[in-house]
Amino acid sequence: AQSVTQPDIHITVSEGASLELRCNYSYGATPYLFWYVQSPGQGLQLLLKYFSGDTLVQGIKGFEAEFKRSQSSFNLRKPSVHWSDAAEYFCAVAGGYQKVTFGTGTKLQVIP
């Protein structure tokens, strides 16, 4: 069965600092991987996705993620965090059409 682990429940970074959110997945075949962001009271918005090809994926809002098959990881990065990036971030893996398994999420706090 597919699964996703986000080891960091909560992360605090200073505005302007770099960010890396960790994600490890378990899936028997080549995974479809996603990162979503959820602001309070809102639904989820897709930041980026990986299916195949280039292992470094660029997304919206200046985010990127790198797929590392050997480490079963798909970590999300941003070189300089803005206060508006404060939200909860979810890593997800898809196995089968539209059946998506989400990680438990990482809450990002940005301090001035």
User: Can you give the binding site for other proteins, defined by CB under 8 A?
Assistant: 32, 36, 41-46, 49, 51, 90, 94, 96-105
Interatomic CA distance for residues 105 and 3, integer angstroms: 13
Q: Of 14 and 42, which CB lies nearer to other proteins in the complex structure?
A: 42
* Cβ neighbours of 46 (radius 10 Å): 12
In the bound complex, what is the minimum distance in angstroms from residue 88's beta carbon to other proteins?
10
Q: Between residues 6 and 85, which has the closer beta carbon with respect to other proteins?
A: 6
Q: Between 41 and 112, name the residue whose CB sits nearer to other proteins.
A: 41
CA 75 → CA 35, 89, 97, distances in Å?
Answer: 9, 11, 23
